[in-house]
Structure 1
Amino acid sequence: MKKRQNQGVKAYYTDHFVLPLPTGHRFPMEKYRLLRDLVACHPEIELIEPAAATDEDLLRAHDAAYIEAITQGKLTDAQIREIGFPWSEAMVERSRRSAGATIAACLAAIKEGVSVNLAGGTHHAYADKGSGFCVFNDAAVAARYVQAMSPTRVAVIDLDVHQGNGTAAILGRDSSCFTLSLHGEKNFPFRKEDSHLDIGLPDGCGDKDYLKILQQALIELERRFTPELIIYLAGADPHEGDRLGRLKLTMQGMEQRDRLVLGLAKELLCPIAIAMAGGYGRDIKTTVDVHHQTIQLALQYHQQIQPKVSQ
């Protein structure tokens, strides 16, 4: 592993780019600000505002006509409904910043071992359309950005409760990438795409079964692919308190989930960039606590790997 700087974990935030939503909208936009407030209590974490993804960045994963429609507010009513957000200039800016945050997290992880986007995980966005509260696909954009710098084998480990259909459609047939999605089989999206490895879980799946299946999936990933960068979508929505998730993982189960993924990165000496992805807890504090736990584990991981990454 290349020599890296011995610094704290870099965490990229975009919550101050506010996306105006109608009263009663079900997307928990406030969770990002609440999460940053908790993260700010850790002096070992450096909070950074990311640059916005440029058209050049986005074009590596998205169609030019779609980027133009988003940027200029030329979406049809049907396209707006599928995204689930009303169009505004603020929506465009926030979406570009979120993609830029995952790009920045990947670059920081390559230098320092691990980094975090406090938002991101917009895995329902396709090359030519948005969907499910996702405008631009930050993981695909970031993977393509890194690969444009240098040939890099990128694994996207998607543990949001919903299948990463947009990521699969963009990267799922690319041999330089490996897309793994572990998701609720009967949950949104109801039309799944083909990832390199898809595992659908039954409603009510709890800690024991989930962790056993995940461990096997990571073994299979390692058997079939040798990543040089991992992008980890650490969704909070498999948690038992999520109103849309339909799985039954406890806080302890979510912790073990994250430890398994970080353990793979450690075993492979592979940089890992983490995006928060989904979370729709009945109590927003629970969702924020799940995300915060992931970031605390990333911080512990960073401290553990420093002797290795500085060699």
Structure 2
Amino acid sequence: MTLPLIYHPCYSALALPERHRYPIGKYHALQQQLLALGVPDSEFHQPEAVRQHELSLVHCPDYIRKLCSGELDTKAMRRIGFPWSKELIQRSLTSMAGTRLCAELALQHGMALHLSGGYHHAFYDQGSGFCLFNDLAFAAKSMQQQGVKRLLIFDLDVHQGDGTARMLADEADIITCSVHCDKNFPYFKQQSDWDLALPANISEQDYLAEVEQALNCLLNWYQPELVLYDAGVDCHQQDELGHLQLSTKALLQRDRLVLGSCRQRQIPVAAVIGGGYQRNLKALTQLHLQLFKAAFELEANSIARKIET
């Protein structure tokens, strides 16, 4: 079975100030590592940027216009965390298309992985926490337009998916779940359909047990036709912005659990790589690779054995 991977070179083609907190090079580094491991170039699908008006499906038209034209005020851009540039807008519009394409290909193939995405802090009319637009909400609503009735957004980034929760609060057929560290950004949390706010000192075993219980309950109760999975690695013990203490092995176990549970129930799953904040791109890339290792294992692909744990 083919495992579609979604990537665009513009994801890392963004000049940021020296020592900027965001590891913008990780997308290119991840794609290059996958190629070096033997993933054929033909497995990568390149999205075309969404048109601005398409984003009004989930975002305020006035916010879209001001952000894309560079008219958003300094305070609003500071809340986002990036200096404005045409390249920033282009990569954001392209990443939005990438998560939508990932969902479409997951429906066709059973599983697809996006080498970007997880911009869950963006709200209807404002951005926040390195997130301009909310790709998870956009992909979910787009799939509804294409006939998918029930979706689950299963967010395991260390930070609560506050924007996603707020934007989809009134969507009865899009279930939002956020499993995150309680004492972490954002300070003011929103209410997901299912929130698990975990203490920073939680053990790996307890973390995995909480994830498994939440996932099984949600899959059994709601029986979604598609799962959007945010596989953020900022819950790793070496992450500079996370406060959980998961090992690389635990990340792999987590991703195996999520992807395997969906596969067992024959529910398509579209995964995005989510957050991860280390200045050491080689180490950070290895953490994001655990999602791909878990996926390749399910596909019985020999590349899985080449990825270190």
Q: TM-score range by the shorter chain?
A: over 0.9
Equivalent residue, structure 1, for 2:16 = 21
User: Superposition RMSD on alpha carbons, in Å?
Assistant: 1.5
Deviation at 1:189? 0.4
Q: Do the aligned partners of residues 57 and 300 (structure 1) sit closer, same or farther apart at CA in structure 2, a change above 3 Å counting?
A: farther
Equivalent residue, structure 2, for 1:38 = 33
2:4 alignment partner AA: K
Instruction: Report if aligned partners of 1:10, 1:115 keep a CA contact under 8 Å in 2.
Output: yes
Q: How does 1:54-133 map to 2 (within 5 A)?
A: 54-133=51-130
Secondary structure at 2:271 match in 1: strand
The CA distance in 1 between the partners of 2:254 and 2:24, in whole Å, is 24
Instruction: Report if aligned partners of 1:9, 1:44 keep a CA contact under 8 Å in 2.
Output: no
Q: Do the aligned partners of residues 55 and 152 (structure 1) sit closer, same or farther apart at CA in structure 2, a change above 3 Å counting?
A: farther
Q: Which moved more, 1:277-286 or 1:160-169?
A: 277-286
2:267 counterpart (265, 270, 287) = 270
Aligned residues: 298
Superposed CA offset, 1:257-309 (max 9, x none): 111111221122111111001001253322211111111211222349xxxxx
- Quick check: 1:166 aligned with 2:163? yes
Q: Which moved more, 1:120-129 or 1:216-225?
A: 216-225
Structure 2 runs not aligned, ≥5 long: 302-309
1:193 counterpart (190, 193, 198) = 190
The CA distance in 2 between the partners of 1:173 and 1:207, in whole Å, is 33
1:198 alignment partner AA: D
Instruction: Report if aligned partners of 1:66, 1:129 keep a CA contact under 8 Å in 2.
Output: yes
Secondary structure at 2:196 match in 1: strand
1:12 alignment partner AA: I
Structure 1 runs not aligned, ≥5 long: 1-5, 305-311
Identity of aligned residues (%): 38
Q: Which moved more, 1:290-299 or 1:136-145?
A: 290-299
The CA distance in 2 between the partners of 1:212 and 1:230, in whole Å, is 19
Instruction: Report if aligned partners of 1:19, 1:90 keep a CA contact under 8 Å in 2.
Output: yes
| TM-score normalized by the length of structure 1 | 0.92
The CA distance in 2 between the partners of 1:15 and 1:83, in whole Å, is 22
The CA distance in 2 between the partners of 1:273 and 1:151, in whole Å, is 13
Deviation at 1:33? 1.0
The CA distance in 2 between the partners of 1:209 and 1:195, in whole Å, is 21
Deviation at 1:10? 1.4
Q: How does 1:158-307 map to 2 (within 5 A)?
A: 158-281=155-278, 283-303=280-300
Deviation at 1:44? 5.4
Secondary structure at 1:142 match in 2: helix
Superposed CA offset, 1:140-173 (max 9, x none): 1111111111142111000000000001011133
Instruction: Report if aligned partners of 2:100, 2:139 keep a CA contact under 8 Å in 1.
Output: yes
Equivalent residue, structure 2, for 1:308 = none
Deviation at 1:205? 2.2
Q: How does 1:117-156 map to 2 (within 5 A)?
A: 117-156=114-153
Instruction: Report if aligned partners of 2:177, 2:192 keep a CA contact under 8 Å in 1.
Output: yes
Deviation at 1:16? 3.0
| TM-score normalized by the length of structure 2 | 0.92
Secondary structure at 1:103 match in 2: helix
The CA distance in 1 between the partners of 2:196 and 2:225, in whole Å, is 23
Equivalent residue, structure 1, for 2:6 = 12
